[in-house]
């Protein structure tokens, strides 16, 4: 299980990344995150929806209601242009952090070696 801090920090880029693959709705987003993280990230509905609401207010995503064949109503979200830009920035940051860890933990050809004083 991921820590609360990590979950909080990664929610926004994760939602943006999922929506970058096409529009989706809340339940499915939770499921996909679960699947892709192999169960490490388990979001609750009560946590996700306020985040989605905030992101919509910030203009990163947009939503619309869709009626399914069974007559159910679902709110679908899709990424906006601003959201894509934001995702690109987030991606850069996360990759840099990831690269730093990869080097630190010696998982690359150019591992980290402390500079001699």
Partner 1 sequence: MSFNFKASLAAFRQELIAQGHFETGLVEELVANLNDRYDEFLIKGEQPETAFQLARQRVLPAKIDSTASLKKLNKAINRPTGLIGSFFFLLPNFFKIARRQLYRKQLYNAFNFCCLTIGIFTTILAVLYLEYETSYDRFVPNIEQKFRLGRTQRSQDYSIVSFDGFFSATAEQQLHQIEGLQAVSGIVSACQFFIFSEPTYVQINDKRLPATNLLQTNTPKAFFDFFGWKFLTGSLNAFYQSSNTAVLTRRQAERFFGSDWAQKISENQQLILEEEPYQIAGVIEDVAANTHFDFSIALNRPKIDYWGARIYLELLPRTKPEQVLARIDQSMPSINARIAANELYGGSILQPISSIHLDSDILYELKPPGDKRYLYIIGIIAAIILLMTVSNYMNLSIAMNAGRSREIGMRKIFGASPRLISSQFILESVLISWLTIPVVFTALWFVLPRFNQLMGTAIDEQLFSSAIYVFLVVGIASLIGLIASIYPALFLANFSVLALFRNNLTNNTNQFFSTRKLLITFQFMLLIGLCSLTLLINQQLHYIQTKELGFNTEQILYTYLPGDSSSYQLFRDAALQLPAVQAVGSGSTLAGQPYNQTTYKLAGTTEIFDDAYNISMDYQSLALLNIQTSIPELVARPENAPGLLVLINETLVEKLTTYFSISREELIGKTIIEEPEYVDEDSGEVGFPFTITGTFADINMFSLHHQISPTFLSVYRSLPYAYSATIAYQGSQTAEVIAQVKEQYETLFPDRIFEYNFLEENIETLYENEQRIAHLGIYFSFVAFLVAVIGLIALTAYLTTIRRKEIGIRKILGASQWDILRRFNAEYFLLLAIALLLSSPLVWWGINRWLLSFAYRIDISMGVFLMAGFITLVITGLVVSLTALRASNQLPVQALQENQ
Chain residues in the site for partner 1 (CB under 8 A): 25-27, 44-46, 49-50, 53, 65, 72-75
CB-nearer residue toward partner 1: 65 or 107: 65
Question: For residues 53 and 111, which CB has a smaller minimum distance to partner 1 in the complex?
Answer: 53
**Minimal distance in Å, beta carbon 87 to partner 1?**
23
In whole angstroms, the minimum distance from the beta carbon of 56 to partner 1 comes to 10
Q: Work out the number of other CB atoms within 10 angstroms of the CB of residue 11.
A: 18
Closest CA to 80 of 19, 1, 5: 19
Question: Nearer Cβ to partner 1, position 3 or 110?
Answer: 3
Residues near 34 by Cβ (< 8 Å), separated by ≥ 6?
41, 42, 43
Distances (CA, A) of 87 to 50, 57, 70, 116: 19, 16, 34, 38
* Residue 73 Cβ vs partner 1, minimum distance, rounded to whole Å: 6
CB closer to partner 1, 5 vs 68: 68
User: Shortest distance, CB of residue 82 to partner 1, whole angstroms?
Assistant: 21
């Amino acid at each position: 299980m991921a820590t609360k801090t990590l979950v909080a920090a990664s929610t926004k880029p994760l939602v943006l990344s999922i929506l970058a693959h096409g529009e989706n709705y809340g339940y499915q987003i939770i499921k996909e995150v679960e699947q892709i993280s192999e169960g490490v990230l388990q979001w609750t509905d009560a946590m996700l929806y306020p985040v989605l609401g905030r992101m919509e207010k910030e203009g990163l995503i947009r939503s619309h209601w869709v009626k399914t064949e069974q007559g159910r109503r679902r709110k679908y979200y899709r990424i906006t242009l601003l959201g894509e830009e934001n995702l690109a920035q987030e991606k850069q940051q996360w990759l840099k952090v990831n690269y730093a860890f990869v080097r630190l933990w010696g998982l690359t050809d150019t591992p980290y070696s402390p500079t001699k004083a």
